[in-house]
Amino acid sequence: ARAMAPGCSSLDPILSALALPPATTAEGLRAAQKDEFHGNEFSLLVSHALGALAGPQWVQKHREEVRAAARLAYGGLSTARLAQTPGEEYCDITCVDAATGQPLPLRRRWIAVLIGALTPYLALRLEARLVSAARSSESPLAAAL
């Protein structure tokens, strides 16, 4: 496995001391793309299952919440079993602490999962509120929207 320490270059002296060679940018991107693909597929399966249970109208009404929950579950399943994500496994890389070269502690992995799952959802909710507020005000911006 190759080490993937986000935010570090291969010239970083900390990484040069690691037992594992640093992952290339291409490997990190490929792993992220693979995880994005599998995460989307998982989200689609969750949507279909919930559609069968609660109905397609419910899934449509709550599609962003379903997507966020599926992202959280996808990342959480790898994190809970202390394993690489499928994308990391595919590229034979692992995420390590840049300072120590050790695998990320469980708490930091969970924080990364939470940020990755909830940030897109929260950004969409904030955008919807801003658009709604702009439309309800009598400003020139509201006329443009």
Residue 139 pLDDT: 58
Q: Rounded to 10 degrees, what is the CA torsion of 55, 35, 106, 15? A: -170
Using 50 as the pLDDT threshold, list the residues of the chain that sit under it: 5-16, 18
pLDDT tens digits, one per residue of 33-54: 999 999 999 999 999 999 999 9
For 18, the 3-state DSSP assignment is coil
Radius of gyration over every alpha carbon of the chain, rounded to an integer in angstroms: 20
Residue at token pair 């840049």: 98
Q: Tokens at residue 14, please?
A: 């900390």
